[in-house]
Structures are given as structure tokens and as C-alpha cells.
């Protein structure tokens, strides 16, 4: 039954039994095979000399796409996606950035945002980059006290919020430095009065755009060494730590992943679903990669329960994902077949046949087993996926193999950290063995360091994972002590 339908074969681009090069020396430092200079201890920082900041990557995408669609959203759950193109996004972002300047913001200043994923998040982000402002995301799981700490530590004077509830939460914890809140959605009169009593002005997002459009503020583009973001990690104890990442850090991370994907890389015409939090670097890197190549991003409706509805309407080709979501899909399928011996038998036969195809490098979703057993699964993801990248936590091998079989698309798994701008390693296309996270990407090197008290020894291929490269952060914001603990004199984190 597996012989019908057009067949696409994906061959590994490197030798699977030796996926990284090891530098000479006692430390057994592993580097990427996808960058020829890696053997000389060098790391990729960019692909094109004149595209080295996130200000430049977005403009490169506008050119590559020929001013194609850029940001998409739905007004209601029954409406289709509507889009603004790159030129409109750039103009609105510049106007918003100019509006922040008109309100008193200055280059290198830290500007907060507290919002779910939506087009305005990107307009704010690119608006910041247009004037060398620094992006500081706030998010729900930090909690009110941590958000208050971040506002105090960064001496935040301006923050963008999504709605009235988020504005109220920040007002309750606002430090004396906070002077301006910009809200994407309407604010209640009660909240406006409360802000006024605290000496805080509230503006609408649209009004800040209009203010910027009236002024004559020339852009102040950043350079690659400039701070792009301070991304706070919640941690398990104490106050959150602000990870300082430059434009060069993020561009290096994005370019390394694009380089490793080879002919399967993201490209103009790709459509990505945005639902993982933009406050985290995994999603930020994925989206900035899409903008770099001239693809477009459709934002989910804001309710994770309606994600399938959004996927069916958007029909994305690219999707970042996390194990929690994929585990739910897998468990749902298992529950559906548990009560029927016939369904179970068919499912197991289909999975076995597809696994056999995978072992031969065959990747498709138009075979007989796809139509008979897996059609509902790939249609639930929009029916058009060609690439899924999984991160944030380990994915069980059986779930990963199931997703590869059911979706009939390339599913890669990565390992990363905020301090390393997202990806540290990524599985290679054509490698269908689960339960590992692939070789180092070309922007960093990886080594293991002994941890004797835990009986981890590098000589036994166990130890603390240490990373050095062009993606490694520039320290924790206003915390030299923790920075010294996290990065040694040779740049290893």
C-alpha cells in the first residue's frame, strides 16, 4: 500500500555516524561540519556582509519578497487572514519608533512590551530597531513581582501593553521611572484616571504611530555590536536575570540555522504560524529568520484552544513547536484508537510502513497510508507543512517519529538557551534517529566539562555542556557577579 503517490527522498548532507568535527586538543571541542572555517575555530556571524542587524534583515526580506505579504491576523475566528505587506509594515514600524522618540525615548534606551503575539509586537520591535532602542519583553509567567523588578532594574520609562488588564497590572507595580504606557487595545476611563494620579500618561498604539508620522525624525539604525534585546529568564529562585543579546548575536543564530538546513531552508513564500511566546528567544529567532528570507507570519487568534482553527485557515508551511503541544496530539490519537482493535491494527500497520519509508529517506504525505490513516493529523496542522522545528524541552522519541510519519514533513529538533540566542544544536535533515538534538550549529562550538560531584566525566561523554561562539550573550544586565559565574575568561558559557 505504501507504493502509491509521488515520492520525495531526503538524503543526509553529512555522514550520520560523525555529525560534528572535533578540534585538535585535550578539550574535545565539537564544531559544525556545515561551515568550512569551523575547523579553524571560527564561527559564522552572518551570511551577507551588508545584513548584520535585525534592522537590515527585515529590509532584506522586503526586497527578497518583492514587497510581499508580511504580517497576517484574523479579526474573528470565522474571518480569513488579512495581511499587510513589507513596505507597509516598515512604514508603520518607523512611524511607531519615531512616535516613541517624540515621546522622549532615546537610542540605546530599554523599552518594554507586555503583549501576546500579534502584528503590533513586530511593529514595536522593528520600530525599536529603527532608532537603536532595546527590546525588553515582559510576560505572564514572570509574575507581577518579577515584572516590577525588571521595570526597576532597567529604569523603564516607556512600556507597550496589549490591553487594559496588563496596563492595570503594571500600574500596580510601576516604579517612579515609568512615565508612559502605550496600549494596543482601548483602555477604560478608570485605568486612565488611575494612571493620571500616578503621573503616568497612556497613549494608544495608533496615536503613537500618528505622532511619529507627523514628525521629522531620521532613523538611527543599529550596528551589529549594539544591544538588540534584554531577555529576562524567570529561573527557579531569586530575581530574573536579564540576558543581553546584540544584533550580531541574533543574526549569527538565525544564519547558522539557515545554513544548516541547506536546500530545505526557509525562503520567500513560506508562511509561518506565530503562537509560541515572542517573549522567548526561540520564537523571536524563528520569526526573524522568516522576515530575513521574505516569508510571512500569521498570528494565532490568542486562544491556544483555537490553534487548530487558525492552522486550518492559515495553512502554514513552517511551524515552530514544543513537546507539550505534540504530546497532546499524540495522546489524542492514542485515545481515539484505544477502543477499537481495527483502528489500532490499521494505525500500527500504517506507522510501521511509514517508519520503513523514513529509514529509506522517503518523506511524503500523499501515499495510501497517509490518505487512509494520517490525513486528519496533517490536515489539523493546515495540510501544507513542509518544516517543523521543535524546541524548549526534549521530545519523546516515539512522539517525534509519529509526527514525522503523520505530517510527512521535515521535523527537526533543537537544543538551545536564551544565553545562546536560541539554538546551540539542531538535528540534520535526513537523520531519522530520535532521542538526540543533533550537532552544534555553525555559530558555536560545544564541549563537555567534568562535574566530579555528580560523577559526570567528559572522557565518558557526560558532563556540563559549555558553549562558545558568536551567538553567546554579552552578560546579565547590571549583574557582573552572575555574568562572571556564567562566562569564563575564554568566553565559554
Query: What pLDDT sits at residue 237?
Result: 72
For the cut 80, the answer to whether the pLDDT of residue 5 exceeds it is: no
- The pLDDT, as a whole number, for residue 6 is 60
- Average pLDDT taken over every residue of the chain: 94
Please give the average per-residue pLDDT across 152-168, as a whole number.
Answer: 98
Question: Could you write out the three-class secondary structure of the chain?
Answer: CCCCCCCCECCCCCCCCCCEEECCCCCCCEEECCCHHHHHCCCCCCCCCCCCCHHHHHHHHHHHCCCCEEEEECCCCCCCCEEEEHHHHHHHHHHHHHHHHHCCCCCCCEEEEECCCCHHHHHHHHHHHHCCCEEEEECHHHCHHHHHHHHHHCCCCEEEECCHHHHHHHHHHCCCCCCEEEECCCCCHHHHHHHHHCCCEEEEHHHHHHHHHHCCCCCCCCCCCCEEEEEEECCCCCCCEEEEEEHHHHHHHHHHHHHHHHHHCCCCCCEEEECCCCCCHHHHHHHHHHHHHCCEEEECCCCHHHHHHHHHHHCCCEEEECHHHHHHHHHHHHHHHHCCHHHHHHHHHHHHHHHHHHHCCECCCCCHHHHHHHHHHHHHCCCCCCEEEECCCCCCHHHHHHHHHHHCCEEEEEEEEHHHCEEEEECCCCCCCCCCCCCECCCEEEEEECEHHHCECHHHCCCEEEEEECCCCCCECCCHHHHHHHCCCCCCC
Band (174; pLDDT cuts 50, 70, 90) = very high
CB count within 10 Å of CB 168 equals 16
pLDDT band of 2, cuts 50, 70, 90? very low
Band of pLDDT at residue 459, cut at 50, 70 and 90: confident
pLDDT digits (tens, 9 = 90+) for 466-483: 999 999 999 999 999 999
- 58 vs 91: CA distance, rounded Å: 12
349 burial type by CB count under 10 A (0-12 exposed, 13-18 middle, 19+ buried): middle
- Residue 455, sorted as left (phi over 0), alpha (psi -120 to 50) or beta, turns out to be left
What's the rounded mean pLDDT across residues 181-194? 97
Burial 28-57 (b: 16+ CB within 10 A, else e): ebbbbbbbeebeeeebbbbbeeebbbbbbb
Q: By C-alpha distance, which of 132, 122, 125, 123 is closest to 101?
A: 132
Alpha-carbon distance of 163 to 398, in angstroms, equals 41
- What is the percentage of the chain residues whose pLDDT exceeds 70? 98
Domains and CATH numbers, the chain: 20-47+290-473 (3.40.50), 54-269 (3.40.50.12780)
Give the C-alpha separation, 188 to 165, whole Å.
10
Other CB atoms within 10 Å distance of the CB of residue 119: 21
From residue 94, give the alpha-carbon distance in Å to each of 90, 252, 359, 492.
6, 24, 49, 37
Does residue 169 surpass a pLDDT of 50? yes
397-411 mean pLDDT:
94
Q: Are 63 and 53 in contact (CB under 8 A)?
A: no
Separation CA 129–CA 125 (nearest Å) = 6
Residue 13: predicted pLDDT: 93
Radius of gyration of the chain (CA): 23
Instruction: Give the tens place of pLDDT for each residue, 109-140.
Output: 999 999 999 999 999 999 999 999 999 999 99
Record the pTM: 0.95
Give the pLDDT confidence of 345-388 residue by residue, as tens digits: 999 999 999 999 988 888 888 888 888 888 999 999 999 999 99
pLDDT in tens, 191-227: 999 999 999 999 999 999 999 999 889 999 999 999 9
136-145: pLDDT as tens digits: 999 999 999 9
Distance of alpha carbon 149 from alpha carbon 173, whole angstroms? 9
The tens digit of pLDDT for each residue in 330-342 reads 999 999 888 889 9
Distance from C-alpha of 155 to C-alpha of 413, rounded to nearest angstrom:
38
Residue-level pLDDT at 194: 96
Average pLDDT of span 455-462: 89
Task: Say what the pLDDT of residue 220 is.
Answer: 98
pLDDT at 104 over 80: yes
For residue 25, count other CB atoms closer than 10 A to its CB: 9
The total of other beta-carbon atoms located within 10 Å of residue 312's CB is 13
33: left (phi over 0), alpha (psi -120 to 50) or beta: alpha
pLDDT given at position 236: 67
Amino acid at each position: 500500500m505504501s507504493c502509491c503517490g509521488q515520492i520525495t527522498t531526503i538524503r543526509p548532507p553529512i555522514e550520520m555516524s560523525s555529525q560534528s568535527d572535533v578540534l585538535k586538543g585535550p578539550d574535545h571541542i565539537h564544531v559544525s561540519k556545515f561551515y568550512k572555517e569551523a575547523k579553524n575555530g571560527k564561527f559564522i556571524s552572518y551570511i551577507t556582509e551588508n545584513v548584520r542587524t535585525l534592522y537590515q534583515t527585515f529590509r532584506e526580506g522586503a526586497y527578497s519578497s518583492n514587497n510581499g505579504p508580511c504580517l497576517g491576523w484574523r479579526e474573528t475566528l470565522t474571518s480569513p487572514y488579512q495581511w499587510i505587506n513589507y513596505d507597509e509594515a516598515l512604514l508603520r514600524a518607523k512611524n511607531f519608533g519615531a512616535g516613541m522618540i517624540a515621546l522622549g525615548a532615546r537610542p540605546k534606551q530599554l523599552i518594554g512590551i507586555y503583549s501576546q503575539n500579534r502584528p503590533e509586537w513586530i511593529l514595536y520591535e522593528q520600530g525599536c530597531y529603527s532608532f537603536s532602542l532595546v527590546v525588553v519583553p515582559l510576560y505572564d509567567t514572570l509574575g507581577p513581582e518579577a515584572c516590577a523588578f525588571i521595570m526597576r532594574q532597567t529604569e523603564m520609562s516607556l512600556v507597550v501593553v496589549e490591553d487594559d488588564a496588563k496596563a492595570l497590572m503594571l500600574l500596580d507595580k510601576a516604579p517612579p521611572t515609568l512615565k508612559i504606557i502605550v496600549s494596543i487595545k482601548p483602555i477604560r476611563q478608570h485605568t486612565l484616571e488611575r494612571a493620571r494620579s500616578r503621573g503616568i500618561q497612556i497613549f494608544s498604539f495608533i496615536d503613537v504611530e500618528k505622532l511619529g508620522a507627523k514628525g521629522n525624525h531620521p532613523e538611527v539604525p543599529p550596528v551589529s555590536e549594539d544591544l538588540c534585546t534584554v531577555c529576562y529568564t524567570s529561573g527557579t529562585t531569586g530575581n530574573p536575570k536579564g540576558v543581553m543579546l546584540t544584533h550580531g548575536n541574533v543574526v549569527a543564530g538565525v544564519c547558522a540555522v539557515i545554513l544548516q538546513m541547506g536546500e530545505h531552508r526557509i525562503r520567500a513564500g513560506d508562511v509561518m504560524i506565530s503562537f509560541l511566546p515572542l517573549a522567548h528567544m526561540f520564537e523571536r529567532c524563528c520569526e526573524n529568520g522568516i522576515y530575513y528570507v521574505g516569508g510571512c507570519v500569521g498570528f494565532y487568534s490568542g486562544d491556544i484552544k483555537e490553534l487548530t482553527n487558525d492552522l486550518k485557515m492559515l495553512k502554514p508551511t513552517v511551524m515552530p513547536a514544543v513537546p507539550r503541544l505534540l504530546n497532546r496530539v499524540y495522546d489524542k490519537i492514542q485515545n481515539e484508537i484505544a477502543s477499537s482493535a481495527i483502528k489500532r491494527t490499521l494505525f500500527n500497520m500504517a506507522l510501521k510502513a511509514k517508519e520503513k519509508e523514513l529509514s529509506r529517506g522517503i518523506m511524503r504525505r500523499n501515499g495510501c497510508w497517509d490518505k487512509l490513516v494520517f490525513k486528519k493529523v496533517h490536515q489539523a496542522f493546515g495540510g501544507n507543512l513542509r518544516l517543523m522545528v521543535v524546541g524548549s524541552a526534549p521530545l519523546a522519541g516515539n512522539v517525534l517519529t509519529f509526527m514525522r510519519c503523520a505530517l510527512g514533513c521535515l521535523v527537526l529538533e533543537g537544543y538551545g538557551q536564551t544565553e545562546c540566542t536560541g539554538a546551540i544544536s539542531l538535528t540534520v535533515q535526513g537523520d531519522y534517529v530520535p532521542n538526540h538534538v543533533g550537532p552544534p550549529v555553525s555559530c558555536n562550538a560545544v564541549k563537555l566539562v567534568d562535574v566530579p560531584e555528580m560523577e559526570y566525566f567528559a572522557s565518558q561523554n557526560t558532563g556540563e555542556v559549555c558553549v562558545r561562539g558568536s551567538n553567546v550573550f554579552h552578560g546579565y544586565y547590571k549583574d557582573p557577579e552572575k555574568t562572571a559565574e556564567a562566562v569564563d575568561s575564554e568566553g565559554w558559557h
